[in-house]
Structure 1
Amino acid sequence: MERRLTAILSADVVGYSRLMGEDEVGTLERLKACRRELVDPSIDHFHGRIVKLMGDGALVEFASVVDAVQCAAVIQRTMASRNQGEVETQRIQFRIGINLGDVIVEGEDIYGDGVNIAARLQGLAEPGGICISGTAFDQAVHKAGVGFSSLREQRLKNIADPVRVYRVLLDPSKAGKLVAASRSAGRRPPLILASLAALLIATSAVVFAWQWPFAPQRPSVAVLPFANLSGDPDQEYFTDGITDNLITDLARLADLDIVARNSVFAYEGRPVVLADIARDLGVRYVVEGSVQRTGGQIRVNAQLIDVASGDHLWANRFDRDAADVFAVQDEMSRQIAEALGLELTQSETERIARPPTANLEAYDYYLRAEQARRTGRRSRMVEALADFEKAQALDPGFAEAFAADARATAYVWLSTFDDVLQSALARKRAYDKASRALALDPELSSPYAVLAIMQVVDRRYEEAIASARQAVSRGTADTEAQMALAYVQLFSGNHAEAAAAVETALRHDPDLSAVARFTAGLVFYFQRDYARSIESFERARDGSPGNGLFVTPLALPYVRVGRLDDARAAVAQGFRLLAGTDCLAAWRLNLGYFRDQQDLSFILDALREAGMPEWPFGFKGDERDRLSGDEIASTVMGSLLQGKIEPSASPALMQVGPDGKAAFRSATQMMTEMVFVKEDLLCEQSENAFGQADCGPVYRRANSPDETRYVYVNSSKVFYFSPTN
């Protein structure tokens, strides 16, 4: 088996299927002309070899990376000029990816990760753009007559390790320049938007690398997850608590940049390579350490390292009673600040020294609850809420416990985990706990972030914006606060303000969570920055594999850039992963709290073009069989509706009183609600869907294979029924 190191160029035609569908003959003629007049001569001029041609793309091998990049640049610049005279819908555009890697040679063909990476990079490129790997960049920088913009490390599908990615800048004025990392770039990527809002409450949201010339000249620190040396995995929650509190204390210092929790915990359990951490997280200093808890004793080791020189600026070991844990955290924070040459203000000193609670048992319950909450799993949320309650009962003045409880309960409400806590109770509890936390400590940021997201879902837009700004004012570097502000401004129709909040959040977390990346992707979508939207959505998908909530949104920017095949594939995959419940009606209902309905239309129009069905499980009704409003009222009101629901055909019934008071029951759901007719639609309204009316048509079943005579469909159900009075 022959192997060799080579430069691989992968190219494809943007929207090829659409172009062929609209004008097959004309598209083929234009593609042939492109190849004959531009592509083939350019490849030949730069000494490339065409390995294979596909209908919509090509794989080309070069002995030199510089030749590959220059060839790609000539093709893309020339195509941009050629397209100026073309109708937009008929323009032929290429996406190109370039990698320098090891390949397997078999005859005239080449295989392996070297080829696969080039193909994945091509998928990251914008229409008319070029993306290259870090290995290719290292050889081509300053030599290819182009500029580069770093996209940092990316997780590429079916590639084991992250790959450094750079976008090629074709503007001649950028030649030879290396531009700062895209601010949306990081190291990696029921109720739809509401579930994501719920997750957003529980996340934090890039610090620019400290070496960039325009970065603030002040210390930047990453506190890596401390190692648990207790010999007991059950003590992990306590060790994580030490790390979390150190991050929180240092983040309160005005003259220090701290990387958010989400980014540093990506390194948990991994070997520490300081150079990689400095590059990936954009920091000058790293804190690392360990915790050993045995009986009533704790031992904490910690050290502060200058990653540029490798010098240890500070190190200490604390052997104390477990009851002194807050004193240990206070001393660590102050000593690290002193080692960095910071002079703390009196308020900063007091804030760090103030323990969250004087009750160690309450603190222990709080740490356990936080560990459970961060999983986001339905079963663990029951545990989290119970432990938060225990912490509050032991110390009614424990503000952080109330704040974390509010965050967890809002997540339960927004995720509609009714088996954890019923919707109305969850909503009230979240508001109450957030208010209690602020009454105990008005300087806390997270309760305001929780209130902001809940208020925007409740369509209290100005209150939501005010709450989000309060959260941000208590911590500009607080990612949770910035992403809450972005979310609130987005749904309030203030897209520029939402984008500004995302950019601020991105400066403090190089490894955004899947939810934060989703929110950023949606903000970029409304900004018409489709390249960054695709990048964010793809990272959200890759950061939460198998979750349909993070697959379907890719269809939005894919449609807008002409990648209709990719958009349809995203919708189909999301529909499959969400068991057939992903539909336009669900998106219309779940995004009902957009202040500007044109924003909602901008989403629904793209999903419709990508082939999303109107109703769940792909249901389609015959308009000839559709009931009018009067017919619906006479059939449904005051009746018992008995039948079955999709997809399991399990029994279901709906009891509707003459006044509209109703109850619906199936094998998986039991709810009380109000039922009414609106125009020619039957509507259900309850605490679900945040009080919105869920409406849909009713059809006769002329040739029903069973006893049911009608079918009612809305955003969440297809209900086949017959009425009895």
Structure 2
Amino acid sequence: MRRLAAIMDADVVGYSRLMGLDEAGTYRAVKRCRDAFILPLVAAHGGRIVKQAGDGTLAEFASVLDAVACAVAIQRTMHDHAGGAEAERLELRIGVHLGDIVADDGDIHGEGIAVAEHLQEMAPPGGVCVSQQVYDQIGLKVDFPLTEIGCRTFADLPGPLRAWRWQPGGAAGEEPPAPAQTDPLPGKKRPSIAVLPFVNLSSVEEQEHFSDGFTEELIATLARCRWLRVVARNSSFTFKGKAADVRRVAEDLGVKYVIEGSIRRAANRIRITAQLLSGETGMLLWAERYDRMLDDVFVLQDEIAGQITGTVEPELGFIEFAALRGHTATDMDAWNIYLKGLWHLYKFDLENLRISKALFEGAIDLEPAFAQAHARLAYVHIQLGWYGPLDERAERIADATALAERAIALDDREPAAHLALGRARALGGQPQRGIDHLRNALRLDASFAQGHFALGQALCYVCRPEEECV
């Protein structure tokens, strides 16, 4: 039966991380929180608990005013009891939406459930997020301030979702928050890199244009790596022709790594040398030499820039992860937890896949808009479907599809998101849709080795392997 209802979705902040630290203690704390706060307050406001799973609680109300009042009462009570036995270590995010639902044997379904879940994800820890439909009904009827936080788009919703938020301590006249961070990755810890102008060591004056053009192409190619912060050309070229200490360059440009190199030409042959340096110590981390025939300048620039990027990107991943050895998830931020998850993912065995799943979930708990963590978590589900029990495969592929779509909604230029969705579609019986997403991944990053492998595999499924060879 279809009806209009107010839906409240509540979730524990950082649940996966807390379970990793103390599974039994976290389970008891969540149960105490439900029994002491959530269940009594839902009942007191005329609501009905529909579902309780893990750290999540879904409830419905006949009155939208009652639903929002209940959500705020839960958060205020949690805030007042912070540190007490019932609320120990726990914070909640709560989303409330007013929309159509379909009731079926005690359960409820429909788009309104998905909207409430997205609102919960957008809510600040300890706060409440409501949809525009809710605000239109209650805006002037409540005694607490609601602040507009703008619109977000989601792959599983037909249009933008406008939302309003409340959190403890807010005042009616408070200024609206700054616009949401558009960076799809946590920026503070992302590795940063500058490419210095490649030095022309040839006697041919025209070769200077080739050197500058190659440097620009390498900067542009590296910038397609969504997890790298790459200094723009104009800043890097201020060091052209200067013999500067790499450590001083890194300090002036605010980067962690520097790439420099040289180009030599003899007749129709060209040699490009590139090296990756630590901006902190000036130590050489990686170096390579590329010898080619100079037939088509632009093809050559694209090829070598792609090869350098395809080598430097994973090299930086290994270097960044090596710095994390000995650290646990409790003393790392979302970016470093993500890096640790990558390391375990690429072991490709069940034990490490399960570890990487928990780590990516922990990164998402800390940074809900971390697109690349959603994408890699989707990829973990694909691998668990492949290596795990056969009877779980369909569910794993469905989970991977949902996570990959969420990653694309957060950042549609993230190659790893298209990779995960492409593999999920191909393995889920939609090979052509999978191939389209895999081609998107390679359009975004032509150096993406995983993307080339996955595309070749998908083309083999449909007996077209020769297409990946051209």
Please tell me the TM-score bracket, short chain as reference: 0.3 to 0.5
| Alignment TM-score, normalising by the size of structure 1 | 0.31
TM-score computed with the length of structure 2 as normaliser: 0.46
Point out the structure with max Rg over C-alpha.
1
